Amino acid sequence: KWNDKQLNIAVQCLIDGFQNINGYDNYISRDLLEGIAMKLNETQTDSVFMCLINGLKGNNEKNRKLYAESIGYVSMKLNKKQLNDVFKCLNGQLDRIFSAFIHGIIAAKASEKQLEEVVNTLIFVSKHSNNDKDKDRSLMRLLELISTKLNDKQLYLL
């Protein structure tokens, strides 16, 4: 069991790692975050989230995928505004397959309320796909990932 002081130190190491400073590595940070995400308090989650969302907006696709995957690990602790920020950021990405993959990570771990946001995003994207086969395939893969978590109303809407 980690106390708050230990978690604060771990969070700072995570942030340093995601920024590749002080000798820490972003892959190690991702792996550490996966293990401690649910132990973080709100302030710690906010700090990690800000680091990750800023990294997600970067130009390096390899790093964006790592940041997005890491956001998936803390997704159950995100508030509605943070989750919306993730969706806005992902919807602005040119790589739609990447965007759908990350939505899947978030959806697979989402609460019912957050899952509702995922469903609404799916509906919007599907209505605006303009018969884009890659986007349609991505949406189908995402539906496969989250289908077991959808309630009857959400399934009907899709």
Give 109-140 pLDDT, tens digit per residue: 666 776 777 677 677 767 766 777 766 776 77
d(CA 92, CA 86): 10
Name the residue with higher pLDDT: 72 or 33.
33
Same domain, 67 and 109: no
Same domain, 12 and 28: yes
Name the residue with higher pLDDT: 150 or 3.
3
CA-based radius of gyration for the chain: 16
Same domain, 31 and 91: no
Answer yes or no: is pLDDT of 25 > 70: yes
Instruction: Give, in order, the Cα–Cα distances in Å from 49 to each of 17, 27, 91, 155.
Output: 14, 16, 18, 30
Distance of CA 56 to the CA centre of its chain: 10
The answer to pTM > 0.85 is no
In terms of residue numbers, what domain contains 132? 79-158
User: Which value, to the nearest 10 degrees, does the dihedral of the CA atoms of residues 76, 81, 85, 87 take?
Assistant: 60
Residue 156: exposure state from Cβ atoms within 10 A (0-12, 13-18, ≥19): exposed
Lowest mean pLDDT among 20-24, 60-64, 114-118: 114-118
Same domain, 104 and 134: yes
Same domain, 96 and 49: no
Residue 71 has a pLDDT of 87
d(CA 87, CA 108): 15
Tokens of 39: 């132990």
Same domain, 117 and 130: yes
Same domain, 119 and 69: no
Same domain, 16 and 38: yes
Answer yes or no: is pLDDT of 61 > 80: no
Answer yes or no: is pLDDT of 157 > 80: no
Same domain, 126 and 148: yes
Same domain, 85 and 116: yes
